[in-house]
Amino acid sequence: MISDWKQAEEALRDVEIVGYQNNKPVSVISFSEELRCIGIGTDAAVFYYPNTPNYAFKVYSDQSLEKKKIEAGIYESLNGSRYFPECYGSGPNYLVLSYEQGITLYDCLLQGIHVPEQVIQDVEDAREFVRSLGLNPRDIHLKNVLLQEGRGKVLDVSEYDKEGNDNRWEHLVWSYKHFYTLIRGVQVPIWILETITNWYNRIDTANFGIEDFSKRVSRLFFRERK
């Protein structure tokens, strides 16, 4: 598994991605039929190449190439940790990461799949490990944590060089402890999850209270279930 990922190089040359400002997800303009797009973020899109099934390729927009270098350095610091994917190399506009089996916590809610407490503890342990390296575990949310054989794995490390706490994970942990038992096993409609996400992204952080926010979410959810 040292260089066999290079089989994907030709297909990756056909990937065209456009990035935007204001934290908007990238647009994938074109890519080879040999590739499968398995994820889209604000800086890059992730692709899978069937001939190299052990790898995922994170391809960055031209506007975010500097972030590729930063993220490669973060992965180097995290090397060997079970809580994160491995980074095996890079190309001109992409990183080569381990392909991780599993389902995101976001999709667990959509499908009614139980999220065990071990997943929450694994992410807490991962964050403690990141801090021990002098990095800052930010931007951890439902779409970048995997449920993987009963354990948790964190997928995106791109903001660990930034300062400040965005509190996203802390708010999820609070919600898990106080709210999750009420919806465990329930398939949450995607429109509800997206509505909650939009509400959360528009909050005034200076006056935000997780308890009040959870009450608003509860009213939305239980009104839908009547």
**Model pLDDT, residue 1:** 47
**Model pLDDT, residue 206:** 63
Check whether residue 24 and residue 77 sit in a common domain.
Answer: yes
Q: Give alpha helix (H) positions in 39-96.
A: 65-78
Q: Among 38, 64, 98, where does a domain finish?
A: 98
Check whether residue 121 and residue 210 sit in a common domain.
Answer: yes
Q: Among 98, 114, 132, where does a domain finish?
A: 98
β-partners of residue 148 are 151
Q: How many domains does the chain have?
A: 2
The segments of the chain whose pLDDT lies below 50 read 1, 226
At 99, which amino acid appears?
Answer: Y
Check whether residue 218 and residue 189 sit in a common domain.
Answer: yes
Check whether residue 158 and residue 92 sit in a common domain.
Answer: no
Question: With 0-12 CB in 10 A as exposed, 13-18 as middle and 19+ as buried, what is 195?
Answer: middle
Radius of gyration for the alpha carbons in the chain, expressed in angstroms and rounded: 18
Q: Give alpha helix (H) positions in 149-209.
A: 168-183, 190-201
Q: What is the pTM of this model?
A: 0.89
**Model pLDDT, residue 219:** 82
Check whether residue 65 and residue 123 sit in a common domain.
Answer: no
Check whether residue 21 and residue 89 sit in a common domain.
Answer: yes
Check whether residue 219 and residue 107 sit in a common domain.
Answer: yes
Closest of 141, 148, 110, 113 to residue 41, by C-alpha: 141
8 Å CB contact between 193 and 106: yes
Domain extent for 40: 4-98
**Model pLDDT, residue 218:** 82
Angle between helices 190-201 and 210-225 (to 10 degrees): 160
At 79, which amino acid appears?
Answer: N
**Model pLDDT, residue 224:** 58
Check whether residue 120 and residue 191 sit in a common domain.
Answer: yes
**Model pLDDT, residue 225:** 54
Query: Could you read off the pLDDT of 39-64 as tens digits, one per residue?
Result: 999 999 999 999 999 999 999 999 99
Check whether residue 77 and residue 129 sit in a common domain.
Answer: no
Check whether residue 189 and residue 149 sit in a common domain.
Answer: yes
**Model pLDDT, residue 32:** 94
Check whether residue 42 and residue 13 sit in a common domain.
Answer: yes
